[in-house]
Amino acid sequence: MYLKICKFGGTSMAEKSSILKVKDIVRGDLSRRFVVVSAPGKRFSGDIKITDQLYSCFEQKQKTGSCKQVFEKIRQRYIEIVRELKVDIEIESYLDQVEREIDQSITPDFAASRGEYLCALIMSKVIGYEFVDAAEIIKFDAQGIFDAGKTYEAVKGRLSIEKGAIIPGFYGALPDGTIKTFTRGGSDFTGAIIAKGVMADLYENWTDVDGFMTADPRVVDNPRHIEVLSFEELRELSYMGASVLHPESTFPLNDTKIPINIKNTFNPSDKGTLILKNIDGYNQPIVTGIAGKAGFTSIFIRKAMMNSEIGFCRRVLSVLEEHWVSLEHMPTGIDSMCLIIPDDSLSCGKEFALMEAIRKEVNPDHIYISKSLSLIAVVGHGMTNQIGTSAKVFTALANANINVKMIDQGSSEMNIIIGVETSDANRAIQAIYNAYFG
């Protein structure tokens, strides 16, 4: 039997009308046997996601000993969903238990995970599939590292095609049963794990857009839609800001042939975006997509004869490691190098300590720091061995009068990373977009 895993995101779970659409989608296709759900997300702009409210619950409980006040809003939201859908479930008693357990919990993970847990309980009744708690099948080791071996064994042993299952996304359990979550948006990861565990034919990831766009629609008017994307392209684009899918969601599927299909719950007849490990044989445009991310700092280091000083780069990098600073890119010249660092790695003025330590370590002639850098990724397998791609990108930037502060081309030749002032970033994306798709 052809088997699909479906994961539905927060907007699909937000309220009665979207949940009824989910019900139709799942019930309308018998191959949709396993369904992973997120917690209810935003219903309108300015609304707060249940997951965010649950983190606030934990904070409130830490401060005052009880999460009651914040939990009340969550309580009302679930009660409303159950009442409107007329679901036969004792939701109040589940809510009482969750509130009590949050008050006793010692990490935020437990609180955060309850959004998915409660939502899956409700969806199990709505769809008529068995509720299978992620804590039973998604396993972490005692250090909190995802335990693939134990997880796949548990998934195979626990899920039954006959019954179908609704599984809460985002979390699993340590060997002692303590709940642990993935990073935010981690239900995408849960869906991929289940897809691999049951050897599905397809992983459908249902969201609120028709798939990936060639650029962010908030930056470019009506960007074109991407029909087919490779795992590598997806990783590059999502890491660099295309927020449709968690950047790590393909990892569990890397050694399988399971494709991912991004679909829109609110427009289910659209084909969406198909994401494949290997896109050979598909029509590949030169540039598949353009994404941008703000929030980087560059540290520029110059020293005469740097290239012949053995161990120079290693010593600079060891300073980063000692200061627990992560490095994004490191373009180098003969006598200079540049460290591109995400701002969130440089909290509380860490950059000054870092520069001082680099000065001591390698005694540069010159070192300076520049803030408010944005990185733009131009991504596409079609660029490989294609003459003129960079020329076209940089001509477009020059014509738009944009100063390029950094260039880095990945060794796979499938991405060009360009650093520009954050104030120029949107114009830069528009200029490159127009050059390729305009």
- What does the binding site for ligand ASP look like in residue numbers (CB under 6 A)? 10, 38-39, 49, 51, 115, 169-170, 184-187
CB of 7 to ligand ASP, least distance (A): 8
- The amino acid sitting at 348 is C
For ligand ASP, give the closer residue by CB, 32 or 246: 246
For ligand ASP, give the closer residue by CB, 35 or 393: 35
What is the spatial distance between Cα 45 and Cα 418, in angstroms, rounded to a whole number? Answer: 32
CB of 114 to ligand ASP, least distance (A): 10
CB of 278 to ligand ASP, least distance (A): 27
CB of 185 to ligand ASP, least distance (A): 4
Taking the alpha carbons at both ends of the chain, their separation in whole angstroms is: 44
What is the spatial distance between Cα 298 and Cα 267, in angstroms, rounded to a whole number? Answer: 42
Instruction: Look up tokens 């702009």; give the residue.
Output: 45
Instruction: Provide the token pair at 207.
Output: 């969201």
CB of 254 to ligand ASP, least distance (A): 20
CB of 49 to ligand ASP, least distance (A): 5
CB of 252 to ligand ASP, least distance (A): 15
Tell me the H-state helices in 305-424. 312-322, 350-362, 389-399
Q: Which residue, judged by CB position, is nearest to ligand ASP in the bound state?
A: 187
Q: For the range 277-280, what are the long-range contacts, defined as Cβ-Cβ under 8 Å and sequence gap of 24 or more?
A: 277/230, 277/231, 277/250, 277/253, 278/230, 279/228, 279/229, 279/230, 279/233, 279/381
For ligand ASP, give the closer residue by CB, 73 or 371: 73
For ligand ASP, give the closer residue by CB, 26 or 425: 26
CB of 119 to ligand ASP, least distance (A): 9
235 Cβ partners below 8 Å, 6+ apart? 247, 250
Instruction: Provide the token pair at 427.
Output: 């114009």
For ligand ASP, give the closer residue by CB, 39 or 397: 39
> To 10 degrees, what angle do helices 68-85 and 16-27 make?
50
Q: What are phi and psi of 76, to 5 degrees?
A: -65, -35
State the DSSP string of 74-128: HHHHHHHHHHHHT----HHHHHHHHHHHHHH-SSHHHHHHHHHHHHHHHHHHHHT
Residue 166, beta-bridge partner list: 35, 131
